[in-house]
Amino acid sequence: MYMRIITGVLICGALTAGAQTNRPATPDELYGQLFTDVQLSKIFPDGKTFVDCTPRRTPAAIVKDYLAVKKNPAIRFSLKAFVEENFHVPGSPTESYVTPADEDIRTHINKLWKVLRREPDTAVAGSSLLPLPHPYIVPGGRFREIYYWDSYFTMLGLKVSGETAMIENMVKNFAYLINTYGHIPNGNRSYYLSRSQPPFFAMMVDLLAGIKGDGVYAEYLPALEKEYAYFMDGANVLKPGEAARYVVKLKDGTILNRNWDDSPSPRPESYREDVETARRSGRNRLEMYRHLRAGATSGIDFSSRWFADRKNITSIQTTDIIPVDLNSLLYNLETIIARSRAMMGDDSGSVHFLQLAEDRRKAIDKYCWSGTLKYYTDYNFRKNSQTGAVTLAGLYPFCFFPDTQGFLSFQCSQAAVLVRDKLLQPGGLLTTDQNTGEQWDAPNGWAPLEWMAVTGLSRAGQKGLAREIAERWTSLNEKVFRETGKMMEKYNVADLNKPAGGGEYASQDGFGWSNGVYLAMMEWLSK
């Protein structure tokens, strides 16, 4: 049985590689010089706008005409007019939605599920959208497609709202993406196919099983194992001290994971920003693009936790870092696969994955638990040292690890001291203790990390602190809603009279995961 499991993982890895070679072309590949000119000229304030445009005719014909017009000095040429003439420019899912003055926050969110709903897609030639076969919920604002890790937190709210059919549709869509492309991309766009995001699919399956029953585990086990194979691709051939794609083999033979993106080029949706960041850094451009893309893979784009100097994005070193949150999620994936195997009567397969999970847990404790901070932090495998970054990612292990003889509870009691001292603010928890101007640093708080923090602290014995965080966060959500009629992507938890800021784009409203976490937290607080 052991060899059958290993063989299955290797086969899935081969399928992943094959799926990558058959991927659809990205906008930079389709439009070439036109793409570069549009993104660098900044005719749209947001670089994501052009890559989400749909062509009015074939991409080849548009490119041919563009090159001809551009090279003709007799023609007075407007790039913006050319784009508007040849492309349909997308709008925001929520831009036409106005909240009635007397609408309460719960009613608002329940109405928003319909605004943010998308029906099964139809393929459009030249579009970057990857069609999905079932309905789904988008986050809102500039995010017009499904997003991987966003969707789990959105599902939490859908469950409270009784929208269980939508939860199942979204899980089916993610399984479809795994089976079609070998993994769940960052979002259902061609330009996101070179990377994934934090692996929350196992938690989605777990959530759905809680609604429909344990048969869900058997139904989605093949997809879970394919996702695992994607993240572990290359592990069997690494030598100590080497890394390949998502996998790192430390000098003592320990296997852990890092964030990764297969493409060494600027992100199409943030092309100008990446080109300028690489130029400012003075570093190898391809190396910079890898680090920037890996930051996007992490979902934490961007944060001081990835910066060598803790201040500037030009010092980014994402692919050198073993993140505690990613590895905690993979621990959970291993345990869910083990549980699913056991339910199918495959005891040896279950034992194998339980051992993989236990090995990972021990490795996370060894390399990521800081005896100095009394907190989990990331590990830089190039420097053979912990980063010492204080982030909410440090609470992920408390969401998943077993409390063997009370040890996890003891660790959590120590971590709670740091949380109160460095991260707790009037509106909830800071994402990190650093203020750099990046959106995943202070003074901002984000719904998914607030939820994981509350979940981990509560599970490991710190229920009082967890309740305090949840009350502060939901109160901030309600305050901003009363003042603006909106649920926001992120919030300023330090100064409740100021909006969140930072990052490559304006703060977005909608907003899928904030809606979901608010409803789930309010339900949790009511118990």
Q: What is the pLDDT of residues 291-338, one digit of tens each?
A: 999 999 999 999 999 999 999 999 999 999 999 999 999 999 999 999
Q: What is the pLDDT of residues 500-522, one digit of tens each?
A: 988 777 778 899 999 999 999 99
Q: Which residues contact 414 (CB under 8 A, 6 or more apart)?
A: 374, 375
Q: Which residues contact 444 (CB under 8 A, 6 or more apart)?
A: 430, 431, 490, 491, 492, 493, 500, 501, 502
CA distance 350 to 511: 38
Q: Which residues contact 517 (CB under 8 A, 6 or more apart)?
A: 153, 156, 157, 447, 448, 450, 451, 473
- Range in 100-109, 209-218, 430-439 the model is least confident about: 100-109
Among candidate residues 151, 155, 219, the one with its CA nearest the CA of residue 188: 151
Q: What is the pLDDT of residues 395-415, one digit of tens each?
A: 999 999 999 999 999 999 999
Q: Are 368 and 324 in contact (CB under 8 A)?
A: yes
* Other beta carbons within 10 Å of 14: 13
Of 121, 261, 489, 504, catalytic = 489
* Segments making up each domain of the chain, as ranges: 27-88, 233-367, 390-527
Please tell me the predicted confidence (pLDDT) of residue 7: 36
What's the distance, CA 424 to chain centroid?
23
CA distance 389 to 375: 10
Q: What is the pLDDT of residues 15-26, one digit of tens each?
A: 344 344 478 999
Say if residue 176's pLDDT is above 50.
Answer: yes
Place of tokens 């290797």: 10
Among candidate residues 303, 287, 284, the one with its CA nearest the CA of residue 295: 303
Q: In the annotation, is 403 catalytic?
A: no
> Which stretches of 182-266 are DSSP H helices?
201-212, 215-232
Is residue 96 very low, low, confident or very high in pLDDT (cuts 50, 70, 90)? low
Q: In the annotation, is 301 catalytic?
A: yes
Please tell me the predicted confidence (pLDDT) of residue 504: 79
- The verdict on pTM exceeding 0.85 is yes
β-strands 54-55, 87-88: how paired? antiparallel
**Tokens encoding 69:** 């017009």
What's the distance, CA 92 to chain centroid?
20
> Over pLDDT 90: what percentage of the chain?
90
Q: What is the DSSP string of 350-387?
A: HHHHHHHHHHHHHHHHHHHEETTTTEE--EETTTTEE-
Of 206, 225, 301, 504, catalytic = 301
Q: What is the pLDDT of residues 57-86, one digit of tens each?
A: 999 999 999 999 988 877 778 999 999 999
Hey, which bits of 357-474 come out as E strands?
A: 369-370, 375-376, 379-380, 385-386, 424-425, 428-429, 444-446
CA distance 260 to 245: 6
